[in-house]
Amino acid sequence: MILSEQKPWEEILGSIGEEKNIFLLGCNGCAEASETGGLPQILETKKKLEEAGKRITGFSLIDFLCQKALVKSRLRSKAQAVMEANSLLVMSCGIGVQAVSVVVEKPCHPACNTISLGDTRGEWKGSERCQECGDCLLDYTGGSVL
């Protein structure tokens, strides 16, 4: 299991910056187990963002954000809400942020820092990689690992 922790609130707001319309995306896999990207965290983040003057265009909780085909198919029904958003706030590990940034042609901001891949680094079949740096900067690199 991949372990993540939520970024400090000020850092999340700073990465979103002046963007007003945000779509929230949570991971019902590892991030839910880490209590960083499940439904309770999505709803709490939604409330905080609205209190900060942001408009939430929608949200979705997908079983595994690391699976690009699954993300693409699940977001099909949310296409209008995604299109209305300036960016997505992705509540998952770095692999999920990278997978979403490939599927959705919008800026993707990580809401979490990956702290351990749980020895899955060699088992991952996709091209996405996570440095487990504990300070996710994938929104600054366009979803690519440096």
Write down the pTM of the prediction.
Answer: 0.82
Residue type, position 2, single letter: I
Question: What residues contact 13, with CB distance under 8 A and at least 6 apart?
Answer: 52
For residue 116, name the pLDDT band (cuts at 50, 70, 90). Answer: low
Query: Residue ranges per domain, the chain?
Result: 3-116
**pLDDT (mean) for 107-135:** 64
- Which listed CATH number (3.40.190.10, 3.30.420.40, 3.40.50.11860, 3.40.50.2300) goes with 3-116? 3.40.50.11860
| Cβ neighbour number for residue 23 with a 10 Å cutoff | 24
Exposure string of 66-78, with b = 16+ CB inside 10 Å and e = fewer, is bbbeebeebbeeb
- Conformation bin of residue 52: beta by default, left when phi > 0, alpha when psi is -120 to 50: alpha
